[in-house]
Structure 1
Amino acid sequence: MNGTDGNKNSQTKSTPIADAAHAHVPSGREFISWLTIGALGALMLFLALTSGQLFNRGIKAGDIAERHIVAPQAAYVIDPVATKEVMENARQLVIPVFQVDRSRDQNTIFKVDESMGRIKVLQSRGIVPEMVPGIQLNLSADEDFYLLNCSRVAFDAIFDFGQTEGKSNLANLEQSIHGKVEAAARQKVYGPRGKRTKVRQIAFEKTIDSIKTIFLTGRKTLTDVVQVEDLVSRSEALIALSVRPDYMSDYSSTMLRTTRRICNRFERFPVSDKDVWADTVFEFLPDDWDPTLRRSSAILVSNALEPNLVIDPVATKKKADQTLKEVNAVTKKYEEGEMIVSKGTIITQEIAQTLQALGISRISSVPFLMVLGFTVIAAVAFAAIFIYNFEPKHFFSGMSLGLIYTVVIVACASASLLGRTYPQFVPMAGAALCLTIFFGRRVAAAVIIPVLVLIAVNRLVEGTHLLAISIAALSAIFGYSRDRKSLMFTGLVIGVAQALGFLVGYGIVKALPFLSLASTPWMVLAPHMALPSFSNLGQVLAMEFAGGLASAIIAIGCLPFLENIFGLVTPYRLAEMAEADQPLLQQLEEKAPGTYQHSLAVANLAEAAAKAIKVDVKLVRAGALYHDVGKMVRPKFFIENQLGAKNPHDMMSPEDSRNRVLAHVTDGLELARKYSLPKAIADFIPMHQGTTLMAYFYHKACERDGKDNVDPGFYRYPGPKPNSKETAIVMLADAAEAVTHSMRDPTEEEVEQAIDKIFQLRWADEQFSDANLSYDELQRVKLAFVRVWRTLHHERLKYPSTDTGKMDVDDDSENDGDGDNKNKEAKVDATVAGDEPCCVPIVLEEEKVEENVGSDSESESESHSESESDTAWSARGESCS
């Protein structure tokens, strides 16, 4: 446009995001109502999806079957008993995961060190008495060792010399005879010390006999020590007998060092018999040791060793769980009609699980309901975000949200009730068709696709049928035509698409049998795959076709009810409303013919503009036809209906004229209610005027009372402003038609300048602040208006007179001059921009004044706006415009 400022140029493009940012956001009670609809709708949607679980108890374990229960269709079902057995076997075969526990090594070294201590104690107090119970000779370890290793002659001499010389010279005795042992024994019993008690005598005799036994059998041998039951004690005793006391310290160090080497080098599993380690320990001990000592030491260390590999319970459980995940569930195939449980049979847990898998028993669970709740929230959020970004006018409309929720909830409730018994009649395609008719393809797709996911997650419909109704729903969205004649054909397309969708699913299952196993990802969306026999396939496809067709028919039948309940209109209703035989339009033509013709002209302009910026053409045309229906209540107060009669406004005060003109809005709304016009059409009645100024009457009041004494707000329409691009287009078309109609033989340039001026005034008056109409779109609307004017005012050929046979000759030179003057007279003198507005002399023809009065605001200031200056004619009411 000409003379645009910076902020206008900054709005040259319109995008969905920008539209959303400028969309009408509800406030106050309207916002509370909108928020309530959104929250209650989400809750009702959740209840619709879970109604089968919340209100149907189903068949539980422990119940008694009230009837014979058979498989409704062929299906594969997990066998819980066999699957549990397979998993248990797999768990048993899992090898435990071990980890090294070095604290066990310290325990081993500690035990060996304790054994070394006990060996030293045995050597210090004497080992022989312990090997032969009952003997108490009180000999030292050196003496024990000597007695066990000395010769027979030296041993005989021990007793002989021991009674006379003591024990200190044992090592010096070299000779004695066997008979002296008995003599020494008698002397010991009947010696010079006097009488001995009988007990003492017997004990001493046993002692002598034991010593003689040791001597006569080759002293203390390995066989005598092995008779000790405790293996460790036996090894310790052998070591105590084999290692000389003065070498005990070196032996102990060697043993501890060897034990540490073994602990650091080997990781040991738990064993039932530790002797298996003795051979390994034996190899680590010095080769120069006596075999008996080496073997005894190996046994001692092996018994002290503890397993340092212990089971890691966390890692072992993780390994077992991973193994169980890889185990395939054992499935059992049920043929269609196969008996599962007989009447009167108690339902076991296994049978209950089988019934649940087949969809015969619906067993609800809190975790599943929680997951479903989050899924509902996610689906609603997805659809809301999409609609907010691409269709904000529907997002912020409570009625639009209410209709969307109603359609979706009915579809989901039908799936919950019919999904298991008659899945082909779930009206998902009908829901998609309804949403597409009311809101278009984008909104319908953004709503229906998440709903199909919700049905799949809740397993309301079996896999092949779900695929069928999904394809039918998509065909309803993308195969829909706005032509009423092709609407029934759309129903046939939906039926065919649903049948073909089922056939595709059937083919997939037949071609890929693994899809029917419950362990596959496919089964996340469907508990089983229904496979009718080939002979029944034709019947099933016919049912699918009937279900899709019925869904479309129901949707079409519900359209009038949904329109009346939610105040929304379909393209078909709009087309009906635009027909000339509508009662209200017939009355308008009869009572206010001028207004009727004006409405037709506005409709033509508005329709072209709607096509230019790609908005609802049918809504724009219907709104334009009905925007001035209120004028037929008082038609004579509007110049287009006076037909040359005297203008009543000439005799009225500005206030009375204002009231009469303003009444056509309230009268129009009253007629809209009387004739049940849809709200979408009735909104055009007040919004085509917005809050514009009745400039002529305001200026007239300024001339009478002075500008300072006149309130411009009194002469403004009450609104509301246009809240959509459609209503804004009709506002512009109304004003543009009045201006172009009042101009006499204008050029195309003059028409474009006049329309441009009107647009500038409306833009400056912020009439489009709620309409999401960008400045770039205003340019396209202007060009559309000019194009329509050009097609209606093209030049025509002049035909010769039928009387003279000659061409009529006009006084072109005179007419041209007069025409220029007349066009100039049809404009407001712009040379008075500096004068006080209420004192501006208006150079108008008398006829033009009457036209301005008669056509209310659109025929007041706008009719001459092409020549108005911004100073003299301000749409904000700052001057007498």
Structure 2
Amino acid sequence: MLHRSADMAGVFFASLKQTLQNPRVRRAGAALFLFLAATLLLSFRFYPERVNLKVGQVAPRTIKAPRTVVFEDKVRTEELRREAASRVPRMYDLDPRVVDSIITETGEIIKAVARVAGDQSADVQAKEAALREALPFPLADGVIKALVRTPPAKLDRLGRELGGIIQQVMADGVRQEDLVAAKKAAAERIEFLSAEPAEKALARAIVQHTLRPNKFYNAARTEMLQQEAAEAVAPVEIMVRAGEKIIGEGEVVTPEHLAKLKAVGLYEARLSVAALVGVAFTVLLLVLGLFYYLYQQHREIYRETSYLYLIALVIAGVLLVAKLILAINVRQASGFSAQLGYAVPVATAGMLLAILLNARVAAFAVSVTAILVGMMTGDELRFMLCGFLTGITGVLSVSRLSRRGDLVRAGLYVGGAAVFAAVAVGLFSGTPPQLLLPVSLGLGLANGLLSSILTNGALPVIDYLSGITSPVKLLELTNPGEPLLKRLLMEAPGTYHHSILVGNLGEAAAEAIGADILTVRAGAYYHDIGKLRRPSFFIENQMGQENPHDKLAPTLSTLIVTSHVKDGVELARTYRLPEKIVEIIEQHHGTSLAGFFYQKALEADQKKPPNERDFRYPGPKPQTREAAIVMLADAVEAAVRALGQPAPGQVEGLVRRIIKEKLYDGQLDESALTFRDLEMIAVAFTKVLSGIFHSRLEYPEREGGKEDSGGSDSPKPARKGPGAGESDVAG
């Protein structure tokens, strides 16, 4: 039974291990780690909550301000602005067309009455019926009977007088709420007319029917004036001095108390479930957006799970540092503490990821980190903007890292950007003038310094844990004090100097075509370390000694020479060189032909030609532009060195011939180099070599047959012998 249980447990753990090694599961794990880390850091605090009071609650203890703060009393400011807005009267627009329309309508009614009254062909009953039909409102029978007997001339005069009354009543405008009063005023004026009662009754009926508002409420204009009045109210600023009592024990909490507690950073509201869900959902969207961007734009990074964990760790690390910095907000009594968001080193994430991955990924990660920092600081837009600006500055300042001093310079750039951002954001966010300059200089420069220190400190750890080779690691490898380079200098000095020249050539070519300069330089320095196993078998290390290849068969010589690639790979792995350097060592000869020994074998046995494949390097061919550059630089340096004292133009011809031979031999097929790249490489090689093999003076012999010593510029005879000029022997 126990044996069966053990077997089941073994199967379970084996299945679990296989599941965890699945790339999809590992990618999901990286996303989950970043989501949980960011959510926890944004939601919870490392320090105890100070106070959590509510309006109307009795304060359990006396609370004093830990520092001096000037802040805006938003509640009081809002009250004053509402009062100012309420004092703005409602604005109305007067429409003159309404009065014209009313007078026209009044005239038409009067004309209709006059037309009926003046009809001589109809009897009285017919006129009364026609008048009732023509009027748009009812009138008493007595008024109707009187109107049909009224002369048209009197009715015309009534119309003119009534029109004047309407213009007088509506001259200042009539609002809807004033309509009843306007009709009453018109009726009162009608009573003073020198007209018959029936005519006045008609006039009153016309006014009641036709009069309507001509003054209308303008909501947009009113709101604009109210807003202007509210904005004209200056913010109510309150100063809380360090040591001042904010609330005493036993006092009832008011909104003013809470405003002061929040301003000095002593008020911490407990995070509600709804707020926690909101934070988690926002973080989830940001994490999914980051990973989707990597999937769409950088598939090679998305597929490499170690890169995903690196991105997650860098962002989480910056958030952790931000949390520690912001914790000072409630612990210190300094005027800086409320502005400490400016010191959050978001640029660290940008600099690390730009160095280790690429600038575009770093810029996107900076955007995500800046948003998270803004949320962490209480949705402070100013800190988010400062983080974004400094982060992008950090990305740009290290995108072409080529020497150690670049990281220090990048820190200065980030500090300058932080100072500028703090000033700019502080001006429009209302930072008190007495704090603006100290905050900008102090926290801005601290941001740059901290970003540089964290980047420098994190790179070696990341190099060791992740296996990703950073430019700083490559810079360290090119230090002459590195163990392998010291061995190369002492045990194979010719190879060492050859490697340095190859590095100079490769660096110039890499810069010309935009390849990785540091990778090329480091790869060139170490490409021939395999020659440490048998340094005397390579012509540059023989120093006038007898060439051992003179006594060996060509096949054996080829085996010894080509084995320096395999020996170099083994030595590189022993010394834990980065994988990209190991690949250059392995690929720097590709499947090239050891031409000198192949030709020697042909001459030795012309009846049975040797198999060419036995005289080729094992490969593989260069897989990257950097490996191809090292191959070309290696071959060119060895060949040009064999020329001795080249004539002008001879160097360029040789450079182009060697590049062409490598191209036609298929050695560059898998390296992604273009014909344009090869042209630029040839120009770069020629420029460097022309500076090395420049024309030299011939010094006359002194008396006694001794030559004048011209130092390092004195001409030296070209080295002759087996393998001279062959890259497989000399380089």
Q: What TM-score, normalized by structure 2, do the two folds share?
A: 0.62
Task: Tell me which of 624, 630, 654 is aligned to 1:754.
Answer: 654
Cα distance in 2, alignment partners of residues 397 and 784 from structure 1: 39
Matched, 1:431 2:348: yes
Residue matched to 2:238: 333
1:398/1:296 CA distance change after superposition, 3 Å: same
Cα pair 1:611 1:617 within 8 Å, conserved:
yes
Task: Tell me which of 672, 676, 680 is aligned to 1:770.
Answer: 672
SS in structure 1 at match of 2:553: helix
Residue deviations 1:638-688 (CA, integer Å, cap 9, x gap):
5656752146872648xx957x66654344333323212234544431343
Task: Tell me which of 626, 633, 639 is aligned to 1:733.
Answer: 633
Cα distance in 1, alignment partners of residues 234 and 285 from structure 2: 27
**Counterparts in 2 of 1:191-270, with a 5 A limit?**
240=142, 243-244=145-146, 246-247=148-149, 268-270=174-176
Cα distance in 2, alignment partners of residues 488 and 719 from structure 1: 38
Cα pair 1:258 1:284 within 8 Å, conserved:
no
Residue deviations 1:711-733 (CA, integer Å, cap 9, x gap):
89986621342334xx4432222
Cα pair 1:66 1:344 within 8 Å, conserved:
yes
Cα pair 2:39 2:279 within 8 Å, conserved:
no
Residue deviations 1:859-879 (CA, integer Å, cap 9, x gap):
7xxxxxxxxxxxxxxxxxxxx
Task: Tell me which of 776, 785, 790 is aligned to 2:693.
Answer: 790
SS in structure 2 at match of 1:677: coil
- Identity within the alignment, %: 21
Worse-superposed segment, 367-376 or 634-643 = 367-376
1:322/1:248 CA distance change after superposition, 3 Å: farther
Cα distance in 2, alignment partners of residues 312 and 576 from structure 1: 77
Residue matched to 1:277: 183
Q: How much does 1:757 deviate?
A: 0.5
Cα pair 2:72 2:237 within 8 Å, conserved:
yes
Letter in 2 for 1:522: F
Matched, 1:688 2:588: yes
Q: How much does 1:269 deviate?
A: 1.6
Cα pair 1:800 1:807 within 8 Å, conserved:
yes
Cα distance in 2, alignment partners of residues 704 and 253 from structure 1: 142
Letter in 2 for 1:428: P
Cα pair 2:318 2:346 within 8 Å, conserved:
no
**Counterparts in 2 of 1:815-830, with a 5 A limit?**
none
Cα distance in 1, alignment partners of residues 202 and 276 from structure 2: 66
Matched, 1:418 2:321: no
Cα distance in 1, alignment partners of residues 227 and 86 from structure 2: 10
Q: How much does 1:734 deviate?
A: 0.3
Residue deviations 1:485-540 (CA, integer Å, cap 9, x gap):
8988998x7999799879x95xx9xxxxxx98xxxx711xx6x4484699xx7x99
Give RMSD over aligned pairs: 6.8
Letter in 2 for 1:335: V
Matched, 1:644 2:544: no
In terms of Rg, which structure is larger? Answer: 1
Residue deviations 1:52-101 (CA, integer Å, cap 9, x gap):
45779997774866762637442222331551353155146341556989
Cα distance in 1, alignment partners of residues 684 and 322 from structure 2: 46
Cα pair 2:348 2:455 within 8 Å, conserved:
yes
User: Structure 1, unaligned stretches of length 5 or more?
Assistant: 1-31, 118-140, 143-234, 509-514, 809-818, 827-844, 860-881
1:485/1:303 CA distance change after superposition, 3 Å: closer
SS in structure 1 at match of 2:348: helix
Q: How much does 1:591 deviate?
A: 5.6
Q: How much does 1:628 deviate?
A: 1.5
Matched, 1:87 2:82: yes
SS in structure 1 at match of 2:625: coil
Residue matched to 2:528: 628
Task: Tell me which of 461, 464, 472 is aligned to 1:561.
Answer: 461
Residue matched to 2:623: 721
Q: How much does 1:404 deviate?
A: 7.4
SS in structure 2 at match of 1:244: helix
User: Structure 2, unaligned stretches of length 5 or more?
Assistant: 1-22, 114-123, 126-137, 330-336, 710-716
1:600/1:315 CA distance change after superposition, 3 Å: closer
Cα distance in 2, alignment partners of residues 798 and 615 from structure 1: 46
SS in structure 2 at match of 1:247: coil
1:550/1:289 CA distance change after superposition, 3 Å: closer
SS in structure 2 at match of 1:334: strand
Letter in 2 for 1:731: M
Q: How much does 1:737 deviate?
A: 1.9
1:469/1:306 CA distance change after superposition, 3 Å: closer
Letter in 2 for 1:650: A
1:533/1:109 CA distance change after superposition, 3 Å: closer
1:717/1:52 CA distance change after superposition, 3 Å: same
Letter in 2 for 1:270: Q
Q: How much does 1:333 deviate?
A: 1.1
**Counterparts in 2 of 1:669-708, with a 5 A limit?**
669-679=569-579, 681-690=581-590, 692=592
Cα pair 2:463 2:469 within 8 Å, conserved:
yes
Letter in 2 for 1:426: A
1:662/1:713 CA distance change after superposition, 3 Å: closer
1:710/1:248 CA distance change after superposition, 3 Å: farther
Q: How much does 1:739 deviate?
A: 1.6
Cα distance in 1, alignment partners of residues 154 and 287 from structure 2: 76
1:718/1:300 CA distance change after superposition, 3 Å: same
Cα pair 1:70 1:340 within 8 Å, conserved:
yes
Q: How much does 1:741 deviate?
A: 3.5
Cα distance in 1, alignment partners of residues 558 and 648 from structure 2: 34
Matched, 1:74 2:69: yes
Q: How much does 1:620 deviate?
A: 4.0
Q: What TM-score, normalized by structure 1, do the two folds share?
A: 0.53
Q: How much does 1:790 deviate?
A: 1.0
**Counterparts in 2 of 1:400-799, with a 5 A limit?**
410-419=317-326, 421=329, 422=337, 423=340, 426=343, 428=345, 431=348, 438=355, 454=371, 460=377, 522-523=428-429, 528-529=431-432, 531=434, 552-565=452-465, 567=467, 573-574=473-474, 576-589=476-489, 592=492, 595-607=495-507, 620-633=520-533, 643-646=546-549, 650=553, 652=555, 657=558, 663-679=563-579, 681-690=581-590, 692=592, 717-724=619-626, 727-743=627-643, 746-764=646-664, 765=666, 766-767=668-669, 769-770=671-672, 774-791=677-694, 794-799=696-701
**Counterparts in 2 of 1:856-875, with a 5 A limit?**
none
Cα distance in 2, alignment partners of residues 620 and 354 from structure 1: 60
Cα pair 1:58 1:362 within 8 Å, conserved:
yes
1:622/1:263 CA distance change after superposition, 3 Å: farther
Q: How much does 1:592 deviate?
A: 5.0
Q: How much does 1:627 deviate?
A: 0.8
Q: How much does 1:313 deviate?
A: 8.7
Cα pair 1:425 1:550 within 8 Å, conserved:
no
Q: How much does 1:753 deviate?
A: 1.6
Letter in 2 for 1:415: A
Letter in 2 for 1:431: T
Cα pair 2:500 2:525 within 8 Å, conserved:
yes
